C-alpha cells in the first residue's frame, strides 16, 4: 500500500477558522488511522493578507487541540522548508519550465486593462476570463517588454475545449470542461506564486498522497490537475469536505457569529468537546454514537463515511457535548482548568486547597456545562455573598428567621470537626428546640450562606464551607437582612 502522507496547509491570515480545524482534524485522523504522516505547511505567499503572529497562533491552536504534526515549522522533516515564502525559487523554476513547455506564458496587462476587460465581459453577460491578449504576443514583443522592465505575471495556458476529469474519494468522478476555466495566474507580479502553483509543486515534492481539503477548493482542482498533467506528475487522491453551514443553511461566516477556534476556546469550551463536535460536521461512525475522544475518533474515522451535503453548525449540540465531556473529565483535570478560571476572575487561587476545590467540583459537576460555571453558578464557594436574592428573601426570610438562625449557629458552633451528617443532626436539634419545621431553618440557612435559593444540597454547601465560615455567614446575614 502507498505510504500515506497528508498535509494541512493554512494561510496565516488570522486565527484558525473552525473549518480549518476540521480540515486539520480529518487529515490528522486519516494519517494516524493508517500509520501515515501528518504535515503542517504554511502557505504565506499572499503577502497582502499576512498577519503578524498568525503562524504562532496556528501552531499553538493545533497543539491545544491535540493535533501534533510529524513534519513542519519547528519540527523539521526531509521535505522542508515548510513555509512557502522560503521556497520562492522552487516555484520560479517550475513556472519557467512551464513557459518553456508552452504550458504557461507571461502576461503584461495592467490592472486597469484587466478591470476594463472584466466590466465589458459582465456588460455582455460573458463568463469573466482573461482574453489571452498576451498569449498572442510574438517572442520579440515579449523580449521588448522584458527589456523595458514592464511588470508581468505568469499565466497557465488552459487547453481549449478539453475535458478534465478526476476522482474524489467523497464525491466520486468529477468532470469539468476547460472552457469554464480561466488562464490562472501562477506567479504574481511581486514574484510570489499563487496558491495554485505553490500548492501543486509542494504537494508533489513533499510526496503528499491524499489532498483532503474543503469543498471551496473543488472548482480549483481542474487547474491543479492540469498542472500535474503539464509537469508529468502523478495525481494525489483528492477528498473535498462538505461546507460548514449556519442553521439557516447559509455558509458559516464571521457575519453570523464566532468562527475562530480561539473564540470558542476563550468562551471556555473544552478542547475535547470542540474536537468531538468538529469531527461530526460531515462525518459519522455509522451508528448513533456521538461521544468520542481523539483516540476513539482515530479508531473509527474513514473518509468513506464523510458525506457530500453541507454540515450544520449547531451550537446547542456543541454545548451538549461540552457538558458530556466535562462529566467524563477526571476531577483533577477539571481542577486545573478551574484554577485558571479563578485567576481570570481575579481570585487568589492560593486561598483554596486542592481538597476544597475537589469538593466544590463534586458538588457542582452535574449542574455545570463549562468550567467557568463553577464560579458563575456558585460564586459563594469562593467569596461570601455581598447581597441576597430579593425574591428568595421575600419568600423564605420570615420574621422568626433571625432567631432561628441564631439558635442554629449556636448548635453548629458546638460541633467538633463536623462531617455533612453532623450539620444535618445539628439542624434537627435546633428545629426541635425551637418547635419549628426543618424547612424554617433550611431555607434561610441556604440564603445566608449562598445569597441565593438554589444550588447543591444545603448540607453539602455548609460542609464544604466549614463550621467557622458557615457561622460567620449566618451572623452576617442576620445583621444585614432586616
Which residues are catalytic, by number? 254
CA 11 – CA 84 distance, rounded (Å)? 10
Alpha-carbon distance values, 195 to 11, 78, 187, 191, 286 (Å): 10, 22, 9, 13, 35
Q: Rounded distance, CA 27 to CA 64, Å?
A: 16
User: Three cell numbers at 51?
Assistant: 498577519
The C-alpha cell at 122 is 459582465
Residues 16 and 57 sit within 8 Å (Cβ to Cβ) = yes
Whether the CB-CB separation of 221 and 199 falls below 8 Å is answered with no
DSSP assigned state of 86: G
State CA 100 to chain mean position distance: 44
Angle between helix 420-434 and helix 439-450 axes, rounded to 10 deg = 130
Contact 67, 61 (CB under 8 A): no
Cβ-proximal residues to 329 (8 Å cutoff; 6+ apart), any chain: 270, 272
CA distance 297 to 27: 12
Instruction: Tally Cβ neighbours within 10 Å of residue 141.
Output: 12
Amino acid at each position: 500500500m502507498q505510504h500515506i502522507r497528508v498535509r494541512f496547509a493554512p494561510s496565516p491570515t488570522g486565527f484558525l477558522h473552525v473549518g480549518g480545524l476540521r480540515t486539520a482534524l480529518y487529515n490528522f485522523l486519516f494519517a494516524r488511522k493508517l500509520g501515515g504522516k501528518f504535515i503542517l505547511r504554511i502557505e504565506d505567499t499572499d503577502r497582502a493578507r499576512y498577519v503578524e503572529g498568525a503562524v504562532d497562533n496556528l501552531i499553538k491552536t493545533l497543539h491545544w487541540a491535540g493535533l501534533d504534526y510529524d513534519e513542519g515549522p519547528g519540527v523539521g522533516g526531509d521535505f522542508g522548508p515548510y513555509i512557502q515564502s522560503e521556497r520562492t525559487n522552487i516555484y520560479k523554476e517550475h513556472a519557467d519550465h512551464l513557459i518553456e513547455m508552452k504550458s504557461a506564458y507571461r502576461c503584461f496587462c495592467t490592472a486597469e486593462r484587466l478591470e476594463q476587460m472584466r466590466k465589458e465581459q459582465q456588460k455582455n453577460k460573458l463568463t469573466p476570463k482573461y482574453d489571452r491578449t498576451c498569449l498572442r504576443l510574438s517572442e520579440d514583443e515579449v523580449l521588448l517588454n522584458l527589456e523595458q522592465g514592464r511588470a508581468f505575471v505568469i499565466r497557465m495556458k488552459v487547453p481549449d475545449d478539453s475535458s478534465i476529469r478526476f476522482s474524489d474519494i467523497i464525491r466520486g468522478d468529477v468532470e469539468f470542461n476547460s472552457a469554464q476555466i480561466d488562464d490562472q495566474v501562477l506567479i504574481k507580479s511581486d514574484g510570489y506564486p499563487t496558491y495554485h502553483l505553490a500548492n501543486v509543486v509542494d504537494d508533489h515534492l513533499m510526496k503528499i498522497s491524499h489532498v483532503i481539503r474543503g469543498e471551496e477548493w473543488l472548482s480549483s482542482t481542474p487547474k491543479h490537475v492540469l498542472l500535474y498533467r503539464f509537469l508529468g506528475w502523478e495525481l494525489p487522491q483528492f477528498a473535498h469536505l462538505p461546507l460548514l453551514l449556519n442553521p439557516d443553511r447559509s455558509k458559516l461566516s464571521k457575519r453570523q457569529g464566532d468562527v475562530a477556534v480561539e473564540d470558542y476556546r476563550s468562551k471556555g469550551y473544552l478542547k475535547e468537546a470542540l474536537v468531538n463536535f468538529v469531527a461530526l460536521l460531515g462525518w459519522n461512525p455509522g451508528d448513533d454514537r456521538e461521544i468520542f475522544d481523539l483516540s476513539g475518533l482515530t479508531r473509527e474515522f474513514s473518509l468513506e463515511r464523510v458525506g457530500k451535503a453541507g454540515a450544520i453548525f449547531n451550537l446547542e449540540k456543541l454545548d451538549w457535548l461540552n457538558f458530556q465531556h466535562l462529566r467524563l473529565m477526571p476531577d483533577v483535570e477539571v481542577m486545573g482548568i478551574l484554577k485558571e478560571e479563578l485567576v481570570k476572575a481575579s481570585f487568589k487561587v492560593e486561598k483554596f486547597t486542592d481538597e476544597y476545590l475537589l469538593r466544590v467540583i463534586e458538588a457542582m459537576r452535574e449542574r455545570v456545562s463549562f468550567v467557568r460555571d463553577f464560579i458563575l453558578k456558585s460564586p459563594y464557594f469562593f467569596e461570601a455573598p455581598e447581597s441576597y436574592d430579593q425574591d428568595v428573601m421575600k419568600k423564605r426570610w420570615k420574621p422568626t428567621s433571625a432567631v432561628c438562625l441564631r439558635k442554629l449557629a449556636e448548635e453548629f458552633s458546638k460541633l467538633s470537626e463536623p462531617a455533612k451528617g453532623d450539620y444535618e443532626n445539628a439542624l434537627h436539634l435546633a428545629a426541635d428546640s425551637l418547635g419549628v419545621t426543618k424547612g424554617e431553618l433550611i431555607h434561610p440557612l441556604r440564603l445566608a450562606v449562598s445569597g441565593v435559593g438554589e444550588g447543591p444540597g444545603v448540607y453539602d454547601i455548609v460542609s464544604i464551607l466549614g463550621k467557622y465560615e458557615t457561622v460567620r455567614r449566618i451572623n452576617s446575614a442576620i445583621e444585614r437582612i432586616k
